[in-house]
Structure 1
Amino acid sequence: MEIDSANEYLCEALEADTPTEKDYYIRQALQLLTVEELTP
Protein backbone atom coordinates (compact mmCIF):
# COMPACT_ATOMS: atom_id res chain seq x y z
CA MET A 1 0.00 0.00 0.00
CA GLU A 2 1.32 3.43 -0.93
CA ILE A 3 0.71 5.04 2.46
CA ASP A 4 2.84 2.43 4.23
CA SER A 5 5.70 3.17 1.86
CA ALA A 6 5.43 6.91 2.48
CA ASN A 7 5.42 6.25 6.21
CA GLU A 8 8.61 4.21 5.85
CA TYR A 9 10.26 7.05 3.92
CA LEU A 10 9.33 9.48 6.70
CA CYS A 11 10.77 7.13 9.33
CA GLU A 12 13.99 7.00 7.30
CA ALA A 13 13.99 10.80 7.16
CA LEU A 14 13.83 10.96 10.96
CA GLU A 15 16.95 8.80 11.19
CA ALA A 16 18.84 10.47 8.34
CA ASP A 17 22.19 11.98 9.26
CA THR A 18 22.32 14.79 6.72
CA PRO A 19 19.82 17.43 5.55
CA THR A 20 20.25 16.12 2.00
CA GLU A 21 19.22 12.64 3.09
CA LYS A 22 16.25 13.99 5.05
CA ASP A 23 15.17 16.04 2.05
CA TYR A 24 15.38 13.02 -0.24
CA TYR A 25 13.22 10.81 1.98
CA ILE A 26 10.65 13.55 2.60
CA ARG A 27 10.37 14.24 -1.14
CA GLN A 28 9.90 10.53 -1.84
CA ALA A 29 7.14 10.32 0.77
CA LEU A 30 5.37 13.41 -0.56
CA GLN A 31 5.60 12.10 -4.11
CA LEU A 32 3.95 8.82 -3.11
CA LEU A 33 1.21 10.63 -1.21
CA THR A 34 0.61 13.09 -4.06
CA VAL A 35 0.31 10.29 -6.63
CA GLU A 36 -2.16 8.56 -4.29
CA GLU A 37 -4.28 11.73 -4.09
CA LEU A 38 -4.36 12.38 -7.84
CA THR A 39 -5.25 8.85 -8.91
CA PRO A 40 -9.01 8.64 -9.58
Structure 2
Amino acid sequence: MPAEWYLDFIDLAYNSSGKDLVALFRVEPAPRIGMREAVG
Protein backbone atom coordinates (compact mmCIF):
# COMPACT_ATOMS: atom_id res chain seq x y z
CA MET A 1 0.00 0.00 0.00
CA PRO A 2 1.67 3.25 -1.09
CA ALA A 3 1.98 5.82 1.68
CA GLU A 4 3.60 8.69 -0.24
CA TRP A 5 0.39 10.78 -0.10
CA TYR A 6 0.44 10.67 3.71
CA LEU A 7 3.86 12.33 3.85
CA ASP A 8 2.22 15.52 2.54
CA PHE A 9 0.67 15.97 6.00
CA ILE A 10 3.95 15.68 7.92
CA ASP A 11 5.85 18.87 8.79
CA LEU A 12 9.37 17.79 9.74
CA ALA A 13 10.33 21.41 10.45
CA TYR A 14 7.56 21.87 13.06
CA ASN A 15 8.71 23.09 16.49
CA SER A 16 6.37 22.25 19.34
CA SER A 17 5.15 24.88 21.77
CA GLY A 18 4.73 24.55 25.52
CA LYS A 19 1.02 23.83 25.00
CA ASP A 20 1.45 20.84 22.68
CA LEU A 21 0.81 17.30 23.84
CA VAL A 22 3.89 15.15 23.20
CA ALA A 23 3.56 11.36 23.07
CA LEU A 24 6.32 8.76 23.12
CA PHE A 25 5.79 5.51 21.21
CA ARG A 26 7.77 2.66 19.70
CA VAL A 27 7.69 1.79 15.99
CA GLU A 28 8.96 -1.30 14.21
CA PRO A 29 8.57 -0.77 10.45
CA ALA A 30 7.47 -3.64 8.25
CA PRO A 31 10.00 -4.96 5.73
CA ARG A 32 10.75 -2.46 2.93
CA ILE A 33 9.11 0.40 4.88
CA GLY A 34 11.43 3.20 5.99
CA MET A 35 11.25 4.70 9.47
CA ARG A 36 9.94 8.04 8.15
CA GLU A 37 7.10 6.33 6.29
CA ALA A 38 6.23 4.13 9.29
CA VAL A 39 6.17 7.04 11.72
CA GLY A 40 4.32 9.35 9.35
TM-score, with structure 2 as normaliser: 0.27
Higher share of residues assigned helix? 1
Task: State the structure with more CA Rg.
Answer: 2
